[in-house]
Amino acid sequence: MENNENIINNWLKCYLIGPMEEVAKKDGGAGWRNNISTELKNIVDENKNPIYVFNPCLEEQNKTGMEAETLHAKIKGWLASGNNELVKEYASLIWKGKTYLEKTVEGQAIFRRIFGDVDYVVNSDFIIARMEAKDRPCGTYMECGIALEHNIPIYVLQTMPRTDYPGSFCHAVFATNGGFFGNEKELIDFLKIKYELKEIKK
């Protein structure tokens, strides 16, 4: 097989889950994801590979051709008007992604796969979750269920007392050998120890 240094199968991978559709901060869930993504990319393994981050705020546009906030507004409109076929089409793109063949300049066919949310979960080494008291998560819980099924640890950036989280959510966190962390630094320090990572000197 030809050596391809762009293949990152051996990198640690992480998916950032949490509400995007109905978020108290009105930022589509982008703020905390951007912050933690920067921190995650500053810790590397013994081969100096950073953690690969699946950030749905960025990835969703690749699947649907729209920014997440725009798409969620459209889906609400389709639900209200009873346009179930469009809801089905875009829900499939979000959750299952898409697969297609692309023609090269030379006329060759190249197989392309854009991951869906299910793929992000099952291809991750761990999940980071965050939600606030006034958020209204839904897909987050579905993704926790997938992580539980595949025994992928769920690490929670805690924003409220643990007893304010739904019991089943906490069950999934601990059943996957995950845990709750008071802030980003606490989580990053834990990841450095658990996965034997080092911080890039700034």
Q: Are the CB atoms for 49 and 159 separated by under 8 Å? A: no
Torsion region of 162: left, alpha or beta (phi above 0 gives left; psi -120 to 50 gives alpha) = alpha
Q: pLDDT at position 81, please?
A: 92
* Segments making up each domain of the chain, as ranges: 13-67+118-199
For residue 127, what pLDDT band results from cuts at 50, 70 and 90? Answer: very high
pLDDT in tens, 38-97: 999 999 999 999 999 999 888 777 778 787 778 878 888 999 999 899 889 888 888 898
37-48 pLDDT, tens digit each: 999 999 999 999
CA angle 169, 15, 134 (to 5 degrees): 45
CATH architecture of 13-67+118-199: 3-Layer(aba) Sandwich (3.40)
* Rg of the chain (C-alpha set): 18
